[in-house]
Amino acid sequence: MRITHEQGDITTAAVDAIVNAANSSLLGGGGVDGAIHAAAGPRLLEACRELRRTTLPEGLGVGDAVVTPGFDLRADWVVHTVGPNRHRGETDPELLSSCFRTSLGLAADAASRTVAFPAIGAGVFGWDAEDVARIAVETVRVWDEENPAALHEVRFVLFSAEVRAAFARALDG
């Protein structure tokens, strides 16, 4: 599997699935979550409300993931995952790793070959970009070893040059 990184807008990524750094309500928010909801259109919110009404009445747990269609996005699928919030004491790196691992599995289950990730947790959830990059890259590499040929490409699409540099260092290390 090829692992790449770029600075850009994940909502315009030409991939089969994009990963949303969602909040547990799945009903939109700020940052990446808000941008994905805005770009996907109102049907994404409707799909997330249906998930809450049926299978996830308490919301999505930290480290878990769920898939919806991409609706108005270029991507066919959105994999929503809830990152750990360091400001709330959610400091276990395994929770962050679970976001990446679970999202990869669901993307592969949806027959995706290419997946784009943001830097889950590296925004308002308070994780250091270096830690996120290291955990993300390590998790993707291990997942690929355990699931050979399941995905063709994982692309980290990062909002800032600083975060992109952290991922470049993690990929080189």
CATH number at residue 91: 3.40.220.10
pTM, whole model, 2 decimals? 0.97
Residue 12 lies in a domain: yes
DSSP single-letter state for residue 61? P
Residue 173 lies in a domain: no
Question: For residue 85, what pLDDT is reported?
Answer: 96
Tokens standing for 60? 């999505």
What is the number of domains present in the chain?
1
What is the spatial distance between Cα 121 and Cα 99, in angstroms, rounded to a whole number?
10
Residue 5 has pLDDT above 90, yes or no: yes
pLDDT tens for each residue of 87-143 = 999 999 999 999 999 999 999 999 999 999 999 999 889 999 999 999 999 999 999
Q: Which residues are catalytic?
A: 33
Q: At what angle do helices 129-146 and 161-172 cross, to 10 degrees?
A: 50
Q: How many CA atoms lie within 13 A of 12 on its CB side?
A: 6
Residue 6 has pLDDT above 90, yes or no: yes
Residue 20 lies in a domain: yes
In terms of residue numbers, what domain contains 92? 2-168
What is the spatial distance between Cα 135 and Cα 46, in angstroms, rounded to a whole number?
32
